[in-house]
Structure 1
Amino acid sequence: MAELGEWAALKVIREKPPGLYLDSEGEEGEVLLPRKEMPASWELGGTIEVFLYTDSEDRIIATPKRPRVMPGEFGYLKVVAETRVGSFLDWGLQKDLLLPFGEQRERVPVGRSCVVHVHVDPESGRIVASRRLGRHLSQDRPRYQPGQEVELLLYGKTEMGYKAIVDGKFGGVLFANEVFRDLRAGERTQGYIKEVRDDGKIDLSLYPPGRKRVNDLESRIEDELHRRGGFWELCDSSPAEVIHQELGVSKKAFKQATGALFRKRKIVISDDGIRLTDGQAPPRG
Structure 2
Amino acid sequence: MINIGEYNTLAIIREAQQGLYIADDEGNEVLLPNRYVPENFKIWEAIKVFVYLDNEERPVATTEEPFIIKDNFAMLRCNEVTKHGAFLDWGLLKELFCPFKEQVVQMRAGQWYLVRCYLDETTGRLVASSRTNRFLDNSSLTLQKFDEVDLIISHPSEIGMNVIVNEQHSGLIFKDDIFQQLNIGDRLKGYVKNVRPDNKLDIALGKIGYRNIEPNAQTILDTLKSHDGFLPLSDKSSPDDIKIHLEMSKKNFKKAVGNLYKQKLIDIKPDGLYLISE
The alignment's TM-score, normalised by the length of structure 2, stands at 0.75
Distance 1:55 1:63 in 2: 11
Please list every run of 5 or more consecutive structure 1 residues that lacks an aligned counterpart in the other structure.
220-254, 263-285
Identity of aligned residues (%): 36
1:261 and 1:147, CA in 2 relative to 1: closer, same or farther beyond 3 A? Answer: closer
Following superposition, the deviation at residue 156 of structure 1 comes to 0.2
Query: Contact 1:3/1:24 (CA < 8 Å) preserved in 2?
Result: no
Task: Map 1:169-180; keep pairs closer than 5 Å.
Answer: 169-180=168-179
Asked whether 1:10 is paired with 2:10, we answer: yes
Partner Cα separation in structure 1 for residue 163 and residue 51 of structure 2? 29
Note the C-alpha offset of 1:167: 1.0
Q: Name the CA shift for 1:14/1:201 in 2 (closer, same or farther; >3 Å).
A: same
> Are 1:97 and 2:63 an aligned pair?
no
- Give 1:70-85 correspondences, 5 Å limit: 70-85=69-84
- What is the identity, as a one-letter code, of the residue corresponding to 1:115? L
2:260, 2:197 → 1: CA distance? 38
Matched residue type, 1:186: G
Structure 2 unmatched runs, 5+: 219-253, 262-278
Matched length? 226
**Equivalence map 1:189-228=2 (5 Å):** 189-215=188-214
* C-alpha separation in 2, matches of 1:13 and 1:107: 45
Q: In 2 relative to 1, CA 131–160 (structure 1 residues): closer, same or farther, beyond 3 Å? A: same
CA positional deviation for 1:96:
1.4
Compute the displacement of 1:171 (Å).
0.5
Residue 20 (structure 1) aligns with = 20
Trace 1:50-65 onto structure 2 (pairs within 5 A). 50-65=49-64
- C-alpha change, 1:178 and 1:260, in structure 2 (3 Å) is closer
Aligned 1:162-173 pairs, distance under 5 A:
162-173=161-172
Structure 2 match to 1:118? 117
Distance (Å, rounded) in 2 between the aligned partners of 1:194 and 1:121: 35
Q: In the alignment, residue 130 of structure 1 is paired with which amino acid?
A: S
The aligned counterpart of 2:146 is: 147
CA distance in 1 between partners of 2:76 and 2:257 (Å): 41
How far did residue 183 of structure 1 move?
1.1
Displacement of 1:109: 2.2
CA distance in 2, matches of 1:128, 1:152: 23
Range 191-200 or range 6-15, more displaced: 6-15
Correspondence for 2:134: 135
Match of 1:114, SS state, is strand
Q: Which residue of 2 aligns with 1:241?
A: none
CA distance change for structure 1 residues 18 and 196 in 2, over 3 Å: closer, same or farther?
Answer: same
**Alignment RMSD, CA only?**
2.4
Contact kept, 8 Å, 1:146 with 1:195, in 2: the verdict is: yes
- The structure number with the bigger radius of gyration is 2
Structure 2 CA distance for partners of 1:260 and 1:14, relative to 1, 3 Å: closer
Segments of 4+ in structure 1 off by > 4 A? 216-219, 255-258
The 8 Å contact of residues 81 and 107 in structure 2, kept in 1 or not, is answered as no
Question: Any idea what SS the aligned residue of 1:168 has?
Answer: coil
Once residues 207 and 12 of structure 1 are traced to their aligned partners in structure 2, the CA distance between those partners, rounded to angstroms, is 48
